[in-house]
């Protein structure tokens, strides 16, 4: 029995019954109509199977077939076929124009359905240039099929819809004869459920009775200028049962085989990257003529770019009606993902986007996505149970959170429905990386942020949702440092959400690198900013650090090694709290030091005035008056005047040091005070006095030559500077080796400020050893860091130092290098440095 003839018989049954369409409830009516005319009884279930309402393959019995034929006025099957074929021969051949009309109607319905599923109202979405580039490349090639592939949420469907609409408009404007037939995967699923062949079904929809009619039409040379595009959106393996997906792939491969030599036929599929990577060997089985476009990362199989910055702005303008809201730099990466832009649109509550966004909004978007896709569903418990069990068996020793499908099979079999849903959402992904020797299908999270969020939830759940020392121990066991930092951030947010703010001190016990500490400090500072700005529902209040008695979290914020642009913002957040004067002084001193490193004289003067307003009684809580040190540096930088008040106090401290007690306790306050005093002494132009103070600290406070911490780094640098001025190469080399030892022990985790100072010390070592030919290379390393992070004081010092060596022949010969030094010197002078700075210092 020919399938397309049976489809015609089904249509004829409906025509005879005066029915345009059939629904499950109509089958009962059909039963009675057929019985009244033929006196043969077909059951309602049989008719439901005939019309595809029962989920099973169906082959009609001879009795069913004869009854339907009799109902339509035919005596047998042969007569029906002969009658139909004779009519088909007498009918006028279907033209390209009528084919276009059929396809346009079907595509229009698909367009309407897919537009309605857009996360942002389709009218507010934008066209994407990449899809035009991709399709132009495809049409210029000899390939007959292409795949638009990317993870869920990359905007594949919307981009295709815009391209289709634009192609339709070009048909009208240019007389182009392209035909586009668009279907979604949901439509194909219904066809499969009815037991139909995809190709025969398509032919019937387009009005063809015979397969060779369409083949003839598409190979007609008169239609060379027109293309027939068969586009299937969302063609993903997880949307079908395994046997169904393989069946439809085989049918598509057969279609490609039929039209491989046609110049008119083109197949376009949009799918997730995982579907392509897992099944490309099946796609290539029918033909090698697949156009994949530009794939930046073959392992991930993505040929759809994220939003570019101008596209984000275009979306903003289209939604906000030409307004230009501020986009926080920390959010650009997140907003470039169409999936998160949809979440951002929902958080903005419609047509008016948020007028100002901060760095924390990215976490709001992730949490909103998880709430929408995972938590708000009747299967939420099963989803979480599956995710937690998968995390439990994922191998994290190498820092890669993934699990072999075989090892997870028992878990998946417990939750088959929710597993497929998570795969379809892109929350989980399944990649087949097998080769001829090893089966290797890995399951991992679709995006790194999903892993971070769920791992934090898993650890919290295992610890009764409490932030305490036990939770910190578990967090510290995470081997992937980036994952660990992000998990800590989620735990901080969860703790505030559940009013566990007084447990945040435990965060100080987490094992993070220096750079990660800066990032966490900045993150917590942003949270403080948001909390204090909130009108209601505040968990953190201005009294927080007065009520937080042990102060671990407060002092966690401090360290000169953290100096950077983002660190300043975190310290400014602390100033918004009601702080006791000693804590306020520590914040202001740190901010003053940041201003000094950036030669930001306006900010330095503001902070210095605030420090001078603090009572003398509170200043006595510091071992050495930091206000005098900062005032000395300010006057030197601003006016070129060396005030000696700070030197006198430091000299008294050296000759009459305090006994054992709080002045020599190992505290952050003492670290910063002593480092500040040490570098202030550089302005005295008395390296012996500076070394005397450094040695006093070594004997009474902390031996910086043996320790590996940040305090030791700065004290070794100061000692090396003093030895450099004294031209004591032996002691300078010893200090350099100590710094080098710290650098090698903590390589890759030095903060930018420490790296800049370290390269500055290397330049001095090269000068001391007369290795002038290597200085320009080392200066480039130093300059890249100093420029990017605005370490203007260090840079001005090094530039001035090198210019004062201009009488050396070996360096004069490097004319380009000296032109660069003079240019940098002039630029820094314009930006705020004074002429006298370092000019009088003896080398």
549 has pLDDT over 90: no
Q: Do 248 and 198 touch, CB atoms closer than 8 A? A: yes
pLDDT of 109:
86
Confidence tier at 833 by pLDDT (50, 70, 90): low
Mean pLDDT of 593-612: 94
Question: Would you state the structure tokens that stand for residue 693, as one six-digit string?
Answer: 């103070």
Mean pLDDT for all residues in the chain: 84
Helix axes 338-347, 309-320, angle to 10 degrees: 30
pLDDT in tens, 521-547: 999 999 999 989 887 778 888 888 877
The answer for 727, left when phi > 0, alpha when psi is -120 to 50, beta otherwise, is: left
The answer for 639, left when phi > 0, alpha when psi is -120 to 50, beta otherwise, is: alpha
Angle 799-803-809 from CA coordinates, rounded to 5°: 135
Distance CA 410, CA 404 (A): 12
pLDDT in tens, 713-725: 999 999 999 999 9
> Which residues are CB-neighbours of 129 under 8 A, at least 6 positions away?
none
> Which residues are CB-neighbours of 140 under 8 A, at least 6 positions away?
none
In the 8-state DSSP scheme, what is residue 564?
A: S
Confidence tier at 476 by pLDDT (50, 70, 90): very high
Q: Do 328 and 358 touch, CB atoms closer than 8 A? A: yes
Question: Would you state the structure tokens that stand for residue 766, as one six-digit string?
Answer: 């090269």
Question: Would you state the structure tokens that stand for residue 253, as one six-digit string?
Answer: 């491969």
766 has pLDDT over 50: yes
Chain-centroid distance of CA 255 in Å reads 39
pLDDT of 92:
40
Higher pLDDT, 299 or 756: 756
Distances (CA, A) of 155 to 309, 449, 597: 16, 19, 45
Check whether domain 96-291 has CATH 1.10.287, yes or no: no
Distances (CA, A) of 819 to 294, 784, 785: 43, 17, 20
Distance CA 227, CA 139 (A): 9
pLDDT in tens, 477-488: 998 889 999 999
From 111-115, 240-244, 641-645, the region with the lowest mean pLDDT: 240-244
pLDDT in tens, 156-174: 999 999 999 999 888 877 7
pLDDT in tens, 208-232: 655 555 665 665 545 456 788 999 9
Distance CA 193, CA 172 (A): 37
pTM confidence score: 0.78
Q: Do 739 and 716 touch, CB atoms closer than 8 A? A: yes
Q: Do 753 and 561 touch, CB atoms closer than 8 A? A: yes
Q: What are phi and psi of 327, to 5 degrees?
A: -110, 115
Distance CA 85, CA 353 (A): 61
Q: Do 195 and 51 touch, CB atoms closer than 8 A? A: no
Distances (CA, A) of 525 to 368, 456, 537, 557: 22, 20, 18, 9
> Which residues are CB-neighbours of 75 under 8 A, at least 6 positions away?
69
Domain spans of the chain, in order of start: 3-90, 96-291, 309-359, 373-446
CA dihedral 200, 202, 205, 207 (to 10 degrees): -70
Residue 331, SS3 per DSSP: helix
Query: What percent of the chain stands above pLDDT 70?
Result: 86
Distance CA 198, CA 192 (A): 8
Characterize the bridge pairing of strands 441-445 and 428-432: antiparallel
Q: What are phi and psi of 428, to 5 degrees?
A: -115, 155
Strands of 265-271's sheet, edge to edge? 179-184, 228-233, 265-271, 145-149, 290-291
Distance CA 681, CA 636 (A): 12
pLDDT of 664:
87
Pick the closest to residue 628 from 646, 611, 644, 613 (CA basis). 646
441 has pLDDT over 80: yes
* Residue 290 host element (H or E): strand 290-291
* Residue 442 host element (H or E): strand 441-445
Q: What are phi and psi of 429, to 5 degrees?
A: -135, 150
Distance CA 560, CA 711 (A): 9
**Residue in the block written with tokens 């009013």:** 499
Cross-strand pairs, 265 = 228
pLDDT of 745:
66
Distance CA 785, CA 780 (A): 9
Q: How many Cβ atoms from other residues are within 10 Å of residue 323's Cβ?
A: 11
Question: Would you state the structure tokens that stand for residue 829, as one six-digit string?
Answer: 């002078």
Distance CA 827, CA 169 (A): 55
The answer for 73, left when phi > 0, alpha when psi is -120 to 50, beta otherwise, is: left
Residue 642, SS3 per DSSP: coil
pLDDT in tens, 324-373: 656 667 677 788 888 888 888 888 876 666 666 677 888 998 999 999 88
pLDDT of 93:
47
- Helix ranges (DSSP H) in 747-808: 752-768, 775-789, 792-803
Distance CA 132, CA 140 (A): 12
Distance CA 64, CA 66 (A): 6
Q: Enumerate helices (H) and strands (E) in the chain, giving the number of each.
A: 41, 8
Residue 592, SS3 per DSSP: helix
């Amino acid at each position: 029995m020919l399938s397309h003839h049976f489809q015609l018989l089904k249509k004829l049954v409906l025509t005879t019954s005066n029915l345009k369409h059939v629904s499950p409830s109509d089958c009962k009516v059909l039963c009675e109509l057929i019985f009244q005319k033929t006196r043969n009884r077909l059951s309602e279930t049989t008719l439901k199977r005939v019309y595809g309402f029962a989920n099973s393959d169906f082959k009609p019995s001879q009795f069913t077939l004869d009854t339907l034929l009799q109902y339509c006025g035919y005596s047998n099957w042969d007569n029906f076929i002969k009658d139909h074929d004779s009519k088909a021969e007498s009918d006028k051949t279907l033209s390209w124009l009528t084919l276009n009309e059929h396809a346009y109607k079907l595509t229009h319905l698909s367009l309407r359905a897919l537009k309605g599923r857009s996360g942002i109202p389709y009218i507010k979405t934008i066209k994407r240039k990449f899809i035009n580039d991709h399709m132009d490349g495809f049409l210029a090639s000899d390939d007959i099929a292409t795949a638009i592939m990317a993870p869920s949420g990359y905007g594949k469907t919307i981009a295709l819809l815009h391209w289709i609409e634009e192609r339709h408009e070009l048909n009208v404007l240019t007389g182009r004869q392209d035909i586009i037939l668009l279907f979604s995967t949901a439509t194909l699923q219904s066809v499969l459920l009815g037991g139909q062949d995809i190709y025969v079904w398509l032919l019937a929809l387009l009005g063809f009775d015979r397969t060779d009619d369409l083949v003839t039409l598409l190979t007609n040379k008169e239609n060379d200028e027109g293309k027939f595009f068969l586009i299937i959106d969302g063609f993903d393996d997880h949307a079908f049962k395994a046997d169904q997906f393989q069946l439809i792939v085989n049918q598509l491969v057969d279609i490609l085989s039929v039209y491989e030599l046609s110049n008119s036929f083109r197949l376009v599929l949009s799918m997730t990257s995982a579907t392509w990577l897992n099944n490309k060997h099946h796609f290539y089985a029918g033909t090698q003529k697949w156009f994949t476009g530009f794939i930046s990362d073959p392992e991930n199989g993505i040929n759809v770019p994220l939003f570019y910055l101008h596209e984000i702005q275009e979306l903003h303008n289209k939604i906000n009606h030409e307004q230009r809201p501020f986009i926080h730099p920390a959010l650009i990466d997140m907003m470039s993902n169409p999936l998160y832009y949809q979440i951002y649109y929902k958080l903005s509550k419609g047509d008016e986007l948020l007028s100002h966004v901060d760095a924390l909004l990215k976490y709001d978007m992730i949490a909103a996505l998880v709430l929408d896709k995972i938590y708000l569903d009747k299967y939420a418990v099963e989803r979480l149970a599956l995710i937690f069990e998968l995390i439990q068996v994922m191998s994290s020793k190498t820092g890669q959170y993934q699990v072999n499908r075989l090892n997870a099979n028992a878990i998946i079999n417990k939750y088959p429905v929710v597993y497929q849903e998570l795969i379809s959402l892109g929350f989980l992904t399944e990649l087949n990386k097998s080769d001829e020797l090893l089966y290797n299908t890995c399951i991992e999270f679709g995006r790194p942020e999903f892993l971070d969020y769920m791992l934090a939830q898993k650890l919290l759940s295992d610890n009764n949702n409490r932030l305490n020392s036990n939770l910190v121990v578990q967090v510290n066991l995470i081997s992937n440092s980036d994952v660990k930092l992000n998990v800590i951030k989620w735990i901080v947010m969860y703790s505030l959400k559940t009013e566990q703010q007084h447990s945040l001190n435990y965060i100080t016990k987490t094992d993070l690198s220096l750079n990660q500490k800066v990032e966490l400090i900045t993150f917590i500072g942003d949270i403080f900013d948001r909390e204090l700005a909130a009108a209601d529902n505040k968990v953190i209040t201005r009294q927080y650090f007065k009520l937080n008695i042990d102060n671990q979290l407060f002092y966690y914020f401090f360290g000169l090694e953290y100096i950077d642009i983002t660190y300043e913002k975190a310290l400014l957040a602390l100033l918004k709290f009601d702080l006791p004067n000693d804590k306020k002084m520590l914040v202001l001193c740190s901010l003053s030091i940041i201003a000094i490193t950036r030669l930001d004289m306006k900010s330095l003067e503001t902070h210095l005035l605030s420090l001078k307003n603090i009572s003398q009684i509170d200043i006595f809580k510091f071992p050495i008056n930091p206000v005098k040190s900062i005032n000395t540096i300010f006057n030197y930088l601003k006016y070129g005047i060396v005030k000696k008040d700070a030197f006198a106090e430091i000299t008294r401290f050296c000759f009459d040091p305090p006994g054992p007690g709080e002045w020599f306790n190992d505290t952050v306050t003492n670290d910063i005070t002593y480092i500040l005093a040490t570098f202030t002494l550089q302005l005295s132009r008395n390296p012996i006095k500076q070394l005397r103070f450094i040695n006093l600290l070594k004997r009474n406070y902390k031996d910086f030559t043996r320790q590996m911490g940040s305090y030791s780094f700065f004290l070794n640098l100061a000692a090396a500077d003093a030895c450099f001025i004294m031209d004591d190469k032996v002691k300078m080399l010893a200090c350099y080796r100590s710094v080098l030892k710290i650098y090698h022990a903590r390589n890759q985790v030095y903060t930018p400020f420490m790296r800049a100072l370290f390269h500055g010390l290397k330049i001095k070592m090269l000068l001391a050893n007369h290795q002038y030919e290597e200085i320009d290379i080392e200066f480039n390393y130093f300059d890249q860091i100093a420029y990017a992070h605005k370490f203007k004081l260090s840079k001005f010092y090094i530039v001035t130092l090198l210019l004062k060596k201009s009488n050396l022949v070996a360096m004069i010969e490097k004319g380009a290098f000296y032109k660069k030094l003079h240019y940098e010197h002039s630029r820094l002078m314009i930006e705020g440095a004074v002429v006298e700075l370092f000019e009088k210092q003896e080398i």
